[in-house]
Structure 1
């Protein structure tokens, strides 16, 4: 059971990373990005292309992260900026369109064949207190923990991070205080797509690289974002871990047929008791 829990935490951490990027752009711009998983897929294909070109692994990772950042900023500048402040439905349809475009783009460039991307971590099993953990799972958990700590420090202790939080809370007041909110929007989308690129690098060795590799994970990522609270970034990570662990335990001890359904049942049960999500705050408005 402990091994299944650790494996579930690793898988849930990836779901949480994808959810984290979704929550970040939603808080910053009020837009639900349904193409976030496909951005991770494109980053994984870019990493595969760089890998087969013979570049060392550190260069592959660095260039993939830069690709993710550039992709996010380009999307925000030329597409998303026109939908900020508009109706949620119109922006949702826009990102659904991007979802389809990115999938077809991947098929056009790389085809429908499955490609292999080696793991960034050794696959040899590691014995931790009698629990056998794969190097891949342990590496995923460590990367997610480090990334969460870096983001916490960025938002808590840097002027840019504080400015981004102010923009997320009240863009009008932030603009009046002299914060360049358009640059903040671009930065939020850039950071979210760097997170997507990291998620793509982590999940590719588990699922291989193909044009639909992130569609299943995206479903769970949205569930994690809703479970943790759509406005809470720590909640996104917590929701991902809960969904990953419940899915793994269900597949091991109940039935593989219920493996995908039980996490959503858990999500619904928690939301009935706490509709705003686990870590989101209630917002009261006077009308």
Structure 2
């Protein structure tokens, strides 16, 4: 672990939830923060007590021009961007079949295309300085599938894949990329402000997705994860000399990941003859 002076962070979706907690913790650590919000930037600045180290700007991540403008403003204000936290996102609770094309598009527009808009806006500044750290927030649902979270999970699986490739592409340029997969934390993610539910409900999914809908309502604000501790984890991550490509946060995430790898190993074992049967004869070792 090391700290190399004051960093400038660019955090999307900072009005509440993870974004707010990370911004608050980073400011307390002495670093500078560019916090982006979709509306009412002055409201967030007031909630964080208007410190000199804070610059709040408006950004709807689905608008690429606005993303470029926000990145430019950040660099004009603080001189550089050291850490990008792609936090802004949106949930969708729905069976895969229930979600309409528009609901799916909207979710990917925010969780995948929006993240890419911000990445494309910020990376030129990091490449210029041959330094920086891109931190994309995925989810435990980006590591393994959950009933009712197929579309949201698929968007987060995309973020996992993008980050893995970025880590390889950016390493020679002195830039790190990490994808963080938090489990269930006590934020307002399950409130209507963050979570959409499909308008269409198919009765056949009552025992699966229907149960998840009830569970999501009851579980709200009972989740095991502590958002303040998540903020601390981000500060540690940004100060690490060799940050990981994957950072899982929460015992629930760790358990889900181990379950996934065990089940994959079982599938490989049971289907080994088929798995190994498809190479050309001349390609076999």
When normalised by structure 1's length, the TM-score is 0.29
Which structure shows the bigger proportion of residues in strand conformation?
2
Which structure shows the bigger proportion of residues in helix conformation?
1
- Compare relative contact order (CA 8 Å, sep 6+) and give the higher one, 1 or 2: 1
Larger Rg: 2
When normalised by structure 2's length, the TM-score is 0.29
